[in-house]
Chains A and B, each alone.
Chain A
């Protein structure tokens, strides 16, 4: 667990309890959701969540009270996921992130590749379409959408959580959103929309 510029705290046991209950526990539902979206398995999600919270407690002296606990916790969870749960035997990512980044940093891209998808089609997606579409994304793309759109993190917070430059956060988000739209477009077509 690396330390940044935060001076190591020296909490008493009572203070540790107070920080843990007051600043860490309130985020447990968000953390559980994230764990589940990463692992896509309820049992792994539970283990991951538990490991993360125990780690958070063990390293509580690295956390400065009153600072961004949610980001701090999410970072631990993401690292635990990568180290312990991400399938090592997975095939190498099909996405060349380097190439993707420079292409998707150009703004014209929005107009060229936005797939045909209409707001009306989205309004009819009252089932699991969006959830499935999200789960179908490569985990790195899924992650940025969760952090930004579901959990409301800012780009700089995401950069710290994921250990990547802000430019990469943005380009990855851009690509992820377009992939999501493509998936939704496919569902819309299946639902019977012609030019959806």
Chain B
């Protein structure tokens, strides 16, 4: 259930019940929830944001244009 919620795949009823009721009474789930959130934040901040090299982008665009004109 935790994974479904964090992945945005749970419906709002399940989400409400889990986040508002279950987490209050279940310590392992509570800890796990915060751990999972922290890992996702770390992933997003450190593993995203790279950019394709501009020369590569230009090459791709020009190859595509060439394809068009023959």
Q: Which residues of A contact B (CB under 8 A)?
A: 13, 16-17, 20, 25, 28-29, 31-33, 36-37, 46, 49-50, 53-54, 57-58, 107, 110-111, 114, 117-119, 122-123, 125, 128, 130-131, 134, 145-146, 148-150, 154-155, 170, 173-174, 177, 180-181, 184
Contact = CB atoms under 8 A, between A and B. Distances in A.
Contact of A110 (B2, B43, B64): B2
A112 to B, nearest CB: 10
Given A32-B52, A49-B52, A50-B56, A130 B38 contact: no
Interface of B: 1-3, 7-9, 28-29, 32, 34-36, 38-40, 42-44, 46-48, 50-53, 56-57, 59-61, 63-65, 67-68
Contacts of A149: 40, 43-44
Contacts, number: 100
A150 B39 contact: no
Contact of B43 (A25, A57, A130, A173): A130
Given A13-B68, A149-B44, A150-B43, A33 B32 contact: no
B43 A16 contact: no
18 contacts: A17-B64, A36-B50, A49-B60, A50-B63, A54-B63, A57-B64, A107-B1, A114-B28, A114-B32, A119-B38, A122-B38, A130-B43, A146-B47, A149-B43, A150-B43, A154-B7, A173-B7, A174-B3
